Amino acid sequence: MNELFEKVFNKEHLTRNEAEQVAEQIFEGRLTDSQIAAFLTALKCKGETAEEMAGIAETIQRKSVTIDCQKANVMDNCGTGGDQSGSFNISTTAAFVLAAGGVTVAKHGNRSISSKSGSADIFECLGVDIALSSEKLSTVLNEVGLAFLFAPHMHPKMKYVMNVRKELGTPTILNLIGPLTNPVLLDSQLMGTYRRDLLEETAKTLGELGRKRAVVVNGSGGLDEATLAGTTHFALLEEKKITMHTIEPEEFGFNRLPIEAIHGGNAEENTATLLSILKNQASPYLDTVLLNAGLGFFSNGKVETIQDGIVLAKECVASGAAFDKLQQLIKIQKEVA
């Protein structure tokens, strides 16, 4: 460990195997809080690489609970959080649209990081039990095609870094890889990140972890979502190759709007916003979800273009299918509970 720590302190990159070695020690409780804090801080100062992110993420995933998913081409649309935007719960809302369009979504998430309510807070407000056993979650995911996987319950070994993360009070590699640690083996993924400089490295990491297709997105203003406020940058992983792209709201018929137009509130307020979107009530919130759901369909390979994805997203909302998917989730959750 001392040799690996010195390597990071000297701003040298770790191999994937070396990152796994350190992560193994961390998540088996063999390192002190001071050692963990020093390692995370040194990685941040040095700059994180795809191999380091993959090594740590794979270790966390390997130690997570088991979710038995029998569906094909499963995806997640979780973001890193940490963008300090105070936006409403975009990816949580988009998950219902994606599921309504026939995509199986293993929605990995947590409580609030940079906003007033996180995905877990919203699902609770909707009446979804976020504390179901892994067996019951497996049933929900296979029957509904959508389940919420509450990160603290999925990753019990994360307890060894909880105090350090609170005391550091700054995002580290653990924030960056949170969306990479879904306990379900994903085929595709739409991942938002607040770090535009790591778009390509994050896409490489997704490829290292076995994703066949993925989009890593960073919106205008540094949001970990696509936005209507300006240019959205994204990296596309397709057939083991990574290409960089940008999109503008006007390309898809949306008006350019300031980020303030999609500010969120507390869990109750954001849940009301989610319901208004699923009921197809016109607003900047609806347009933002349609853009992100369209990107999600594109990330999954359900459609060939983002424009086709947006068209499908509009159909899922306008037809009531997205709202019906919410009702189905609540019904099945109650039955299994």
**pLDDT reported for residue 20:** 98
Domain count, the chain: 2
To the question of whether residue 308 is assigned a binding role by annotation, the answer is: no
**pLDDT reported for residue 83:** 66
We report the CATH number of the domain holding residue 26 as 1.20.970.10
Same domain, 1 and 97: no
For the chain, how big is the Rg over CA atoms in Å? Answer: 19
By the 10 Å C-beta count (0-12 exposed, 13-18 middle, 19+ buried), 336 is classed as middle
Name the pTM for this structure: 0.94
Of 25, 44, 63, the one marking the end of a domain is 63
Same domain, 44 and 177: no
To the question of whether residue 108 is assigned a binding role by annotation, the answer is: yes
We report the CATH number of the domain holding residue 109 as 3.40.1030.10
The mean pLDDT value of the chain amounts to: 95
| pLDDT winner (highest mean) among 163-167, 177-181, 314-318 | 314-318
Of 14, 36, 63, the one marking the end of a domain is 63
Same domain, 182 and 251: yes
Same domain, 15 and 128: no
Write b or e for each residue in 117-140: b if 16 or more Cβ atoms lie within 10 A of its Cβ, otherwise e. Answer: bbbbbbbbbbebbbebebebbbbb
Same domain, 290 and 184: yes
Give me the mean pLDDT over the 244-271 stretch.
Answer: 95
Give me the mean pLDDT over the 137-141 stretch.
Answer: 97
Give me the mean pLDDT over the 287-301 stretch.
Answer: 98
Same domain, 32 and 178: no
To the question of whether residue 195 is assigned a binding role by annotation, the answer is: no
Eight-state DSSP code of residue 226:
-
**32 pLDDT tier (thresholds 50, 70, 90):** very high
**Would residue 162 count as lying in a domain?**
no
Q: Give the CA distances from residue 182 to residues 72, 89, 167, in Å, rounded to whole numbers and listed in that order.
A: 16, 19, 25
To the question of whether residue 113 is assigned a binding role by annotation, the answer is: yes
Of 63, 86, 111, the one marking the end of a domain is 63
Residue-number span of the structural domain to which 94 is assigned? 74-154+167-336
To the question of whether residue 91 is assigned a binding role by annotation, the answer is: yes
To the question of whether residue 335 is assigned a binding role by annotation, the answer is: no
Same domain, 112 and 246: yes
Phi then psi for 225, rounded to 5 degrees?
A: -150, 165
**113 pLDDT tier (thresholds 50, 70, 90):** low
Of 75-89, 92-106, 146-160, 166-180, the range with the lowest mean pLDDT is 75-89
Q: Which tokens go with 170?
A: 């700054």
**pLDDT reported for residue 114:** 47
The answer, yes or no, to whether residue 84 has pLDDT greater than 80, is no
Under a CB-based contact definition with an 8 Å cutoff, are residues 115 and 264 in contact?
yes
**Would residue 161 count as lying in a domain?**
no
Share of the chain above pLDDT 90, in %: 89
